[in-house]
Amino acid sequence: MPLLQHGLPLAPATLPAGIELRPQTIDDVTTLGSLYWDSYPKGVAAVDLEDAVEEMEGVFEGEYGTPLEPACLVAVDTASGELVGCIQTVTEAPWDGVPQGPFIIELFVHPDHRRRGLGICLLLSAAAACHEAGFEELALNALEETSAEAIHLYRRLGFVELALAD
């Protein structure tokens, strides 16, 4: 699982047509759980839909670090009103060996809405929010076995791999 980091600021985001971004709210938790479940191969991020909802509840409860609210965004399809993507960022990762500073704990897009620039838009928008909050770097992990496209995206945007500290 590569640990990747990038200095801030990054390039400005371009919002795909028919999409709007807004901060996630606790009222989104069940819908986010469903989106999370639908966005990953089964059994990778959660064992079932109930577990996926519990994972999202954990984000709001701070189980994975203190959410950096301006950098926790959902993408909404303006035609249907459905949530189609999400990025969740914490002020510091709760794991050892990770650099201090904001850390993206989740970035997921529904499979039907991929390849439209939505992941890039969410990432760049969260990075801008981190920079506006005074942070100079942003980090994330990616699962190599399930996220080859995501890792390629991060590297294309200039994220560099860091060695995990012992």
Check pLDDT > 70 for residue 129: yes
- Section 154-160 average pLDDT: 91
CA distance linking residue 26 with residue 30, whole number of Å: 9
Residue 101's φ and ψ, nearest 5 degrees, are 115, 180
Q: What is the DSSP letter of 110?
A: -
Helix 49-60 and helix 29-39, axial crossing angle in degrees, nearest 10? 120
pTM of the full structure: 0.94
pLDDT tens for each residue of 25-80? 999 999 999 999 999 888 888 999 999 999 999 999 999 999 999 999 999 999 99
**Identity of residue 11:** A
pLDDT tens for each residue of 81-94? 999 999 999 999 88
CA distance linking residue 104 with residue 87, whole number of Å: 7
Q: What is the predicted pLDDT for the residue at 164?
A: 63
**87 bridge partner residues:** 73, 107
